[in-house]
Structure 1
């Protein structure tokens, strides 16, 4: 059978693809009818989780796209944002609203130290050098965090206005989740406008394509590159603040989230900020909804083996495998990037 063209694009929906989409729609409707409260909880949980991944992946994608360095220390910067939140709120008594600004700035300053002290010596070098260097930095930051704040999980008390629930009728959602969604959307929109709609962003994109020509025209690429690196670090720190305020923090969160952030960047396509946003939301939603779909299907069909324990943790990697098999460059990867 011939593929069905999608108007305005060069892609098509094959019959097999149509079946997959039909099954997903059916499972979504079934889950919403059988367990409406849990369905909404999982949708919002997946949205929040996905947006936190996007906040980490944005900085990772910026550094990789601009500097060509695989920054394995980016997860540690995310972790520092959470622990700075603990230090400011629980130890020093600073309000959450002040912490929301101060902690990302502090992480950004750590990013300056990393860029000036280590990474600037690795530009235009073998990417493996940057990977090994940032891996070492991640280990040092992890051990420093353990030495300062201990290895046990920590938590903070969110403001009362964010601790209360928001009644949606069939369920109640914590306001900190909705606040995380709002902040993440604002940050993503701001980064897009900075990169795509300002002269600064235009000069940065020009430097990525041809650094020598941009510098010949008088653009100070060193200043722009360090500014974007600090921005990426601060965004990761902000993600840490939001995650830490919602569920707490532990040293292991650095390794857990950096791996997932790399999955997001690969699925979205290396070099594509828009791809990172789409991939983060896709992986977040799939991680939360897949267990619900399977448990609902098991309940309806009485086939308990369908309900696979722990499947949510495997979903990001399954999504990555499927996407790379279909599109080796990722969903929105740029041809020739980093090749």
Structure 2
């Protein structure tokens, strides 16, 4: 009786805190929109584009983690290979950027398959820390291979002239490359949802997760299907690397940086939730771009100079994760009991 009362009190407290936080967030956004409308809209657009790339990375990680149960730290290395692979295709092999959008994700996906078949297939059902250590080792190997092939200095590659302009939207403009990134990421996300939840293939994958022995007994080739899922997750990481590399370039730090962000996004969205990864990616992407603008606008309104902090955008994802887990420990759309 006392335990049930305590649980109801805790849930009520979390619900109240969530509503208060939502009201405060809306109020801060309205203040920012009133003080710096043009900058707010520009950063909102940029945050959506960035969030779609993050969602694409996290979606691949969520498929592997949620469906296969492997904490795949090597996902960051696959993302990094996507960026460097695009540099290889466009800058060194002089092929069109459009070719890189196809060649590189497929190549990274095949590398992911090799990784899954040779190493990770032996770890399904084992302690997750074993998979984490194995994939961390693979990540280090990928990073050193990239250093040996492309060096340690930052690199960039050119994009077609059609992607170098901008498109006017409302108060501001969005770079054509960012707009294309949003469109491509949206198509991949919708396609992944339809594949996993509207096809027999997705049904058999979920059946294998619920009861692998029974699924194999009725003739479903579970290992092959899991390998296909791993290919899709790795290819998404490679595609995200191509798109991000085209916009900002690449160096050897991006693999570690983005795999940490991907894990944050998966945790915030809820482990195992495809929809949660997309929502969380957008939330964090917008937060990274809009958060500093909100803080500076608040500093302008209140006259507190200390609020004009540089570099605050880099800690926004972790602030969001902390707040979400305090209010909802299993993430925004996670299954009950998974993280609690």
Question: Is the structural similarity TM-score above 0.5?
Answer: yes
* Greater alpha carbon shift after TM alignment, 34-43 vs 198-207: 34-43
Residue of structure 2 in register with 1:20 after alignment: 21
**Is 2:36 aligned against 1:32?**
no
Q: How does 1:295-314 map to 2 (within 5 A)?
A: 295-314=296-315
Equivalent residues of 2:330, 2:339 under 8 A apart: no
Residue of structure 2 in register with 1:46 after alignment: 47
Residues 164-190 of structure 1: per-residue CA shift (max 9 Å, x gap): 122236433211111111111111000
Partner SS state of residue 72, structure 1: coil
Q: How does 1:237-256 map to 2 (within 5 A)?
A: 237-256=238-257
Residue of structure 2 in register with 1:7 after alignment: none
How far has the Cα of 1:14 moved from its partner? 5.4
Residue of structure 2 in register with 1:5 after alignment: none
Equivalent residues of 1:77, 1:236 under 8 A apart: yes
| TM-score w.r.t. length of structure 2 | 0.92
**Cα distance in 1, alignment partners of residues 225 and 212 from structure 2:** 11
The 3 A distance-change label for structure 1 pair 338 and 267 is closer
Equivalent residues of 1:85, 1:241 under 8 A apart: yes
Residue of structure 1 in register with 2:192 after alignment: 191
Residue of structure 2 in register with 1:205 after alignment: 206
Q: How does 1:1-339 map to 2 (within 5 A)?
A: 17-168=18-169, 170-337=171-338
Equivalent residues of 1:68, 1:338 under 8 A apart: no
| TM-score w.r.t. length of structure 1 | 0.93
**Cα distance in 1, alignment partners of residues 17 and 70 from structure 2:** 38
Residues 109-162 of structure 1: per-residue CA shift (max 9 Å, x gap): 111111111111212222111111100000000000011000011111111111
Structure 1 unaligned regions, length at least 5? 1-9
Equivalent residues of 2:270, 2:334 under 8 A apart: yes
**Cα distance in 2, alignment partners of residues 18 and 63 from structure 1:** 33
Equivalent residues of 1:152, 1:250 under 8 A apart: yes
- How large is the Cα RMSD of the aligned pairs? 1.9
Residues 275-318 of structure 1: per-residue CA shift (max 9 Å, x gap): 11111111111121111011011112221112222221111111
Partner SS state of residue 308, structure 1: coil
How far has the Cα of 1:64 moved from its partner? 1.2
Equivalent residues of 1:65, 1:208 under 8 A apart: no
Residues 74-99 of structure 1: per-residue CA shift (max 9 Å, x gap): 00000100011000000011101111
The 3 A distance-change label for structure 1 pair 42 and 317 is same
The 3 A distance-change label for structure 1 pair 17 and 262 is closer
Equivalent residues of 2:14, 2:327 under 8 A apart: no
* Greater alpha carbon shift after TM alignment, 195-204 vs 270-279: 270-279
* Greater alpha carbon shift after TM alignment, 199-208 vs 115-124: 115-124
* Greater alpha carbon shift after TM alignment, 301-310 vs 203-212: 301-310
Residue of structure 2 in register with 1:6 after alignment: none
Partner SS state of residue 315, structure 1: helix
How far has the Cα of 1:22 moved from its partner? 3.1
Partner SS state of residue 85, structure 1: helix
